[in-house]
A and B are shown apart, each in its own frame.
Chain A
Amino acid sequence: MKILVCIKQVPDMESKFKVDESGTWYAKTDLAWRMNEYDEYAVEQAVQLKEQCKEGDITVLCIGSDQVKETMKKSLAMGCDRGAHIKDDEASGKEPFEIAGVIAEFAKDKDFELIFTGMQSQDRGSGQVGILVGEMLGIPSVSTVVEFSYEGGTLDLKRELEGGIKACVKVSSPAVITCQLGLNTPRYPTLPNIMKAKKKELLSIDIGDLLRVEPRQETMKMYFPEKKGGGLVLEGEAADLADQLIKILKEKTGVLA
């Protein structure tokens, strides 16, 4: 069984962000980078499926600059078999229709039985790429999956809805699955597997070879939201902060009365 997993490298969301010179994206300097959280579940599900079927071949794909190879190596250490790095220094400016177009172009003749993506990326957060890939390839897609089971080409899935309700869904492969938080427990790569990953194949493909679609939207500017104000910010030493907070709670809430 051939499986494709699409991952994105994103900054740690606790980073201090700055807007870059173009004024349309965040500056990429002084940031810590990691795998998009949703994509960790995608990688884990692919690896678990291979373990269950006792056969399989997992390609992990990532579009980005050379820097994303670090994150790709983590997924190889988690158990993916090979990497397809689509080299693009301008990836952050690509909108979801372009990203999906590139993934679909890569996947179109390769007979992947399953394609896993995250339900959304943490930085851009469009939640579109997985479903668009399914549309472009003409195969079904199911989004926001929190439970997954596979048996002989049939997928039993649960989609998560608001309020913790789930929708039970059945679909046949080939299909695209977009993974939601909590789908599984992503493994930590072990040291031997990190060593093994170093020897795994990491293909490099130029973005120009796969980009066949035109963008449909454009970012005009990026900025920090205006602070709505009102909120009080307290900084200092713990005991002092606690005294200040207790005083406020006594004045403003009936809780400590």
Chain B
Amino acid sequence: MKLLLIAESREGKLLGGSYELMAFAQELGAETAMFLVGSEADLPKYDGTLYLADVADAGEYNPEAHRALILDVIDKEKPDSVVFCHSSYGWDLAPRLAYTLKAAQISEVVGVADGNMVVPVCNSKLRREVKAGTAQTVITLQNGAFGLAEDPAGTPTVEKISGGTGTVIEFSGFELAEAGGVDLAKAQVIVSAGRGIGKPENVALIEGLAKALGGEYGASRPVVDSDWVEHNRQVGTTGQTVTPKLYVACGISGAIQHLAGMKKSEFIVAVNTDKDAPIGEVADVLVVADLKQFVPVLTEKIQAL
């Protein structure tokens, strides 16, 4: 089996997901080649052929051009599958490529079982095994599902490629996340509010517990999208990644994009009314309770210590 791995970079910097593609190939024992729109100044540690297109020519976000470049490489390498990260780059480009190749696309793969791809369903509450009906497939991998056992090493054999134009979508630059505010990365304790808090007034409960524990408060995305808490307190893929000594998730279901930002915390407590909430997968302790009742009692008892 042969895989074409589509690595990623942003502003010339290689992104870590690229190594998860290699880990997936290792798990399958597959041959590989790699494709990257990026910069010669930051190449993946990889023993194999790397088809490299310069981002200055191919563009940061130009799906048309990137697809054309990948199609050229597919012609040369004839891979059985093309593998992307399930990221803002991968989930955008993969269906376009699958369409041209007339290939099945299997999204957000978390594992392989009996030759079938395993993907999550319903906020990761269930799993599904999927079998492709086409010879060639396009696959995207869930962030963090595959990891290399050892530190990556190697030097790629670089083959420079160019061409591939696209004019339909015009990319004009990045807008950075607003800086300043709280640096959750420094906090030893973080107590986060999820949609389960129900209403903005209840942010105070979460803030109160955070104070009692000598920490900061954070939030999941819906709480931030509703403007109940400012964006610089959001934990997750599109917020901050945190690794405190203690993370308390209150009324947070545990979607993969939230977990990606906090699952490496040393000790995780979840407070949730749903005993089956996916947050239970990463929690050291799951307290099955209504946070509106439980959090104030807990805060009071900690203050009294």
Contacts and interface: CB of A to CB of B under 8 A. Distances in A.
Interface string A181-224: 11001000000000000000000000000000001111111111
A96 to B, nearest CB: 8
Interface string A152-181: 000000111111111111111000000001
A95 B119 CA distance: 13
A235 interface: yes
A228 interface: yes
B216 interface: no
B294 interface: yes
A9 interface: no
Contacts, number: 243
A127 B130 CA distance: 16
Interface string A237-257: 011011101101100111110
A169 B172 contact: yes
Contacts of B103: 216
A111 interface: no
B231 to A, nearest CB: 7
12 contacts: A17-B122, A96-B107, A128-B95, A131-B96, A163-B237, A167-B61, A167-B173, A218-B131, A222-B128, A231-B283, A248-B285, A255-B188
A102 to B, nearest CB: 15
Nearest to B239: A164
A142 interface: yes
Given A164-B239, A220-B116, A256-B302, A233 B275 contact: yes
Given A14-B274, A135-B95, A217 B106 contact: yes
B6 to A, nearest CB: 16
A238 B129 CA distance: 40
A161 B225 CA distance: 16
B288 A235 contact: yes
Interface residues of B, number: 89
Given A128-B95, A218-B133, A235-B288, A164 B231 contact: yes
Contact of A223 (B94, B124, B126, B175): B126
B174 A245 contact: no
Interface of B: 10, 60-61, 86-89, 91-92, 94-96, 98-100, 103-108, 116, 119-134, 168-177, 188-189, 213-214, 221-222, 224-226, 231, 234, 237-239, 245-246, 253, 266-267, 269, 274-277, 280-289, 293-294, 297-298, 301-302, 305
Given A164-B231, A167-B171, A221-B129, A228 B281 contact: yes
A234 B286 contact: yes
A59 interface: no
Given A217-B106, A218-B131, A245-B269, A168 B172 contact: yes
B175 A163 contact: no
Interface centre among B91, B234, B238, B245 (most CB of A within 10 A): B238
Nearest to B61: A167
Contact of B91 (A143, A223, A239, A254): A143
